[in-house]
Structure 1
């Protein structure tokens, strides 16, 4: 059998999907559907052609099938996380994540023997774990009773879970780190954003936003916007009316900061990998 979809192709398509859709739930569903499509094509090919020998069967269930299967399981877990995650603040979300981490640790403890077999690249039980001959001997989950015996072995799904759960643990730890950063109450984090540009550049921005009427439907005074930026960016805007008069008297460009802002953004859009 010749399975054409490589790891690089799968990762490239997942990368494309992640950057095509902004909604995380949509991203998960698209990737899940993509992986299901690959697995279904594999199932049909197996039904029509079978395997040349035991080695090729082991290679498929231990390696080739794992590429889409582990990603399908992982993004299914991400989908459930985004749907179930509490919205009530750091405390509730932290407890939610820690509960999931405990369950994952329990999973790896229960399957530690199999995990060690995989981690140490052993192969002496491959025929037992990754051929369909022993499907009716080893039952590790009740769910196995309902799987297609022609497209599953006793442990191929378990291996997919091992791989997916490692990715999921990494994701959960990143979420905890992000929570600690987002909810930090230290003075250092509060004062983190400081305006390091010029007073003239900030004045251009303040006047532009005021004229664009982006605050409170345009019902905000210029001085209130200036006061907000002064406090938010820890920068003394000074007399913005005087600075604005100086901007108007410029002989060359009157708004170099805004022009450079636009150019840099367009350059980023053109060159960015995203």
Structure 2
């Protein structure tokens, strides 16, 4: 219950942050607006924990390993992007490129400083979850860096480190987009497939159902991709406007007739029919 409520709050937060990105306001004003929204969301998250208890240790682990880090990562990302953009030199393209390359090295340095935890994050390890993502535990100090403002009732040994990993992935993507053309970025990522242009011609609400299914089952980036990011990717690659995630969710949850997940049910029926026809 706590996790689902927190995920809904995260979707609302992402919509608030997206609105600030769409506003034509100064960078400092935009940052303040974003940080205020994030602080309120984190305060709501704390209030949620004060009002409810985790149903099990596993739910507590899931919350501090996958959910809370997403909120903190939004805060870190907003601050980091502002700092990077504010420090960008007004100079030649080569100087600016060198600046972005140096910033990229900084993100990788954090991985080097926390190699064990980064591998644990990438492999989605579980062996140490009870030490890293349960409150009032003490894992070996060599694994976890010191964190300022540690709140024992709202923090675990590993949630901030995971939030920083999520942030660094987004920073790397941001910097790579500015350093290289789309073709160069794909080559660097080891992706050299032929581009195929596909356009979504079905109802946008159907794609929203799929996006929520992908997000809620954690199929992208080890479950670390947000619903806004997933929908944004689908919009770009399928050349369609899905709309704001939370409003789409309200449309889906507000359905009263037939099925709330009508399109997913249609897909399931079509796949089962194909299997039945092949086995007949």
Superposition TM-score tier, normalisation by shorter sequence: 0.5 to 0.7
Partner of 1:31: 34
1:5 deviation in Å? 4.2
Higher CA-based Rg? 1
Partner of 2:200: none
Does residue 102 of structure 1 match 2:80? no
Partner of 1:165: 168
CA distance in 1, matches of 2:141, 2:51: 26
116, 119, 126: which one pairs with 1:116?
119
Instruction: Please tell me whether the aligned partners of residues 61 and 156 of structure 1 are also in contact (alpha carbons under 8 angstroms).
Output: yes
CA distance in 2, matches of 1:90, 1:12: 33
Does residue 80 of structure 1 match 2:83? yes
1:148 deviation in Å? 1.2
Aligned pairs for 1:93-242 (under 5 A) are 93-135=96-138, 138=141, 140-144=144-148, 146-177=149-180
* Structure 1, 41-50 or 115-124: larger mean CA deviation: 41-50
CA distance in 2, matches of 1:167, 1:173: 10
Using a 3 Å threshold, how does the CA distance of structure 1 residues 46 and 4 change in structure 2: closer, same or farther?
A: closer
Moved over 4 A (4+): none
1:81 deviation in Å? 1.1
CA distance in 1, matches of 2:123, 2:67: 19
Partner of 2:12: 9
Using a 3 Å threshold, how does the CA distance of structure 1 residues 120 and 141 change in structure 2: closer, same or farther?
A: closer
1:9 deviation in Å? 3.2
Using a 3 Å threshold, how does the CA distance of structure 1 residues 96 and 12 change in structure 2: closer, same or farther?
A: same
Count residues in correspondence: 182
Instruction: Please tell me whether the aligned partners of residues 111 and 118 of structure 2 are also in contact (alpha carbons under 8 angstroms).
Output: yes
Of structures 1 and 2, the one scoring higher in RCO (CA 8 A, sep 6+) is 2
Partner of 2:68: 65
Gaps of at least 5 residues in structure 2 are: 182-240, 245-280
CA distance in 1, matches of 2:139, 2:79: 27
Gaps of at least 5 residues in structure 1 are: 179-270
Please provide the CA RMSD for this pair. 2.9
TM-score, normalising length from structure 2? 0.57
1:4 deviation in Å? 4.4
TM-score, normalising length from structure 1? 0.58
1:70 deviation in Å? 1.1
CA distance in 2, matches of 1:27, 1:35: 12
